[in-house]
């Protein structure tokens, strides 16, 4: 619950429907005002309380006294002409900087050139997916991720998460899907993430379906059990990236605490409780995790799980010791999984000609 007693200006993006209803009640206003205000903010994208013409002048004045509708300041941005991906670097009120990405959703499956990243039929899209950050920096120091090299600063509040979405929405982009795969480990900020999801899915405002939201995790086992007990209704994607504990520990230090067997037990329990298909994210790294033996171990991991495997060509980051697996190696890996009944696709990263990988734009800008 958002604290309602502060005399300082708060971002309205921090408030769920119950939060705002309570504030209105304390100020002698009916609860139906919540729907009016959320419609102005999240559907009409009002950036000023003065625009809210069906509210009294007195109520608008009170809102201006207590709340702000500001989105974070835009520091810099990049645009990839090949696939029309846009990445922005935003500065929060305390000076911390986070990234968000806007990616076209194509009407039909398109072909991606593995060398250039260019997408065929680029004009055939009608909506967007946005990738949002949940933390400034990241604690988990994954070897393939620039965010981990930046170090961990702090969790983002729910309002700071929602404000990234609103930055794009106010520019007129029709956003139908969200992936929490930006800076930070989403499950390390579970409380504020859940609150942000509630705001994003509130039918009075943005009204996204939870099934159009994907939450990615490196595999925080206790938090996966917690999600299993709660009714999130979102999609869950697990960054696996290796099929042995030894290899996985080289990529994701957190796996020293939570081994693959423990992770699978948590996922089996999650799936039993939630009844939803899982996704595994698997970076294809040359000579490291792209062998036929790795593919066979992947089959064992997928056993008893209803899951989909995304094979992702590695996108190199500064100071990385790894390089992308060859297209032939990736296709061989996919063939082995498909032959054994594992739903598998090759997913080419968007924004390959810009600093679109997590943390890269902030790192480059600061350097």
Residues designated catalytic: 99, 358
d(CA 154, CA 157): 9
d(CA 46, CA 327): 47
Q: What are phi and psi of 168, to 5 degrees?
A: -75, -40
**CA neighbours closer than 13 Å in the CB half-sphere of residue 323:** 3
The pair of three-digit structure tokens given for residue 327, joined into one six-digit string:
């297209």
Q: What are phi and psi of 28, to 5 degrees?
A: 70, 30
**SS3 (DSSP) at 68:** strand
d(CA 22, CA 226): 28
Q: What are phi and psi of 107, to 5 degrees?
A: -65, -25
Cβ-based neighbour number of residue 287 at 10 Å: 11
Q: Sheet of 213-217: strands edge to edge?
A: 73-80, 85-91, 97-106, 125-131, 175-180, 213-217, 235-239, 278-284, 307-313, 343-346
Reported as type and span, the H/E element at residue 280 is strand 278-284
Dihedral, 64, 67, 69, 72 alpha carbons, nearest 10: 130
105 closest CA partner among 197, 212, 15: 212
């Amino acid at each position: 619950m958002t604290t309602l007693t502060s005399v300082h200006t708060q971002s309205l993006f921090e408030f769920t429907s119950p939060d705002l209803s309570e504030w209105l009640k304390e100020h002698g206003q009916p609860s139906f005002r919540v729907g009016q205000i959320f419609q102005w903010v999240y559907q009409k994208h009002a950036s000023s309380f003065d625009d809210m013409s069906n509210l009294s002048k007195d109520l608008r004045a009170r809102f201006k006294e207590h709340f702000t509708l500001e989105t974070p300041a835009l520091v810099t941005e990049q645009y990839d002409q090949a696939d029309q991906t846009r990445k922005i670097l935003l500065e929060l009120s305390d000076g911390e900087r986070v990234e968000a990405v806007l990616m076209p959703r194509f009407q039909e499956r398109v072909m991606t050139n593995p060398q250039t990243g260019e997408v065929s039929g680029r004009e055939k899209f009608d909506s967007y997916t946005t990738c949002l950050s949940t933390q400034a920096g990241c604690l988990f120091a994954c070897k393939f991720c620039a965010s981990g090299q930046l170090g961990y600063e702090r969790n983002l509040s729910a309002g700071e998460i929602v404000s990234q979405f609103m930055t794009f929405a106010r520019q007129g982009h029709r956003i139908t899907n969200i992936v929490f795969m930006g800076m930070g480990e989403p499950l390390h900020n579970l409380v504020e993430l859940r609150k942000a999801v509630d705001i994003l899915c509130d039918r009075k405002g943005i009204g996204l379906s939870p099934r159009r939201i994907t939450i990615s995790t490196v595999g925080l086992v206790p938090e996966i059990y917690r999600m299993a007990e709660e009714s999130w209704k979102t999609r869950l994607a697990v960054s696996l990236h290796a099929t042995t504990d030894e290899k996985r520990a080289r990529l994701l230090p957190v796996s020293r605490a939570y081994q693959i067997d423990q992770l699978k037990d948590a996922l089996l329990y999650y799936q039993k409780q939630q009844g939803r298909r899982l996704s595994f994210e698997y970076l294809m790294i040359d000579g490291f995790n792209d062998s036929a033996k790795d593919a066979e171990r992947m089959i064992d991991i997928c056993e008893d799980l209803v899951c989909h495997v995304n094979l992702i060509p590695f996108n190199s980051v500064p100071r990385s010791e790894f390089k992308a697996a060859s297209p032939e190696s990736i296709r061989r890996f996919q063939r082995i999984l498909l032959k054994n009944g594992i739903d598998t696709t090759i997913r080419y990263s968007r924004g390959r000609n810009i600093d679109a990988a997590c943390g890269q734009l902030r790192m480059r800008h600061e350097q």
